Amino acid sequence: MGHTTLIGIKLPYNVNKKIFDLRKKINFNYTLGQYPNHEPHITLYINSFNNINFIEKKLIKLIDTVPSFDIKLEGINSFESDPITKESILILKVKKGITNLKNLQKKIIKSVHSFRNQEYSNWLFSQNNTLNKEKKENIINTGTPINLEEYDFHATICSIPQKELTKIKKDIGKITFEFQVKKLSVFIIKNDKFVFWKDYSLK
């Protein structure tokens, strides 16, 4: 049995608190969707591995080459339809620090992707039977169906029924956070949720 592992950015306390508060507000006033209630984060890479301790060693070596950098999150933005839940996804979109995240993402893929097993890829294929050839090749080559040049870095708030998207976005209004990324974080699946596991300080 492999370990489904998410490598990304853990958010500061004030950003986490805002996301949890928004989830409560939406659940009380509207309809909270079926998207799992993961700990808030910015995803850089997801896959499954047989030996997570080996992957940890690869990450420790990688972060020696990555300095801290500033980032800005802005919302409320959205993905109109998640391919798995078929719901709208509310997000805080990265507006500053994108180049740093792209470079870090590519380094992570280069460092660990070849050591994955097939569990996560097989799950992605099973969840969506409309994936075209390009998206399937992307999953095989990078772990995500999205072309890396088109990847939108973001922190997910929650999913909602599409019919409630416009009024919820209007109700919540604009939110902005700025902070410095000093650590690379690893989350692992527990009880069908990505839960924070470890931090690795950047250079």
Scored b (16 or more CB within 10 A) or e, 34-67 reads: ebeebbbbbbbbbbbbeebeebbeebeebbeebe
> Which pLDDT does position 185 carry in this prediction?
96
> Which pLDDT does position 37 carry in this prediction?
78
Rounded to an integer, what distance in angstroms lies between the CA atom of residue 51 and that of residue 137?
A: 24
> Which pLDDT does position 34 carry in this prediction?
76
> Which pLDDT does position 84 carry in this prediction?
64
> Quick check: 170 pLDDT over 80?
yes
Taking residues 106-117, report their average pLDDT.
96
Domains, the chain, with CATH or none = 3-201 (3.90.1140.10)
Q: In this predicted model, what pLDDT tens digit does every residue of 2-12 receive, in sequence order? A: 789 999 999 99
> Which pLDDT does position 1 carry in this prediction?
53
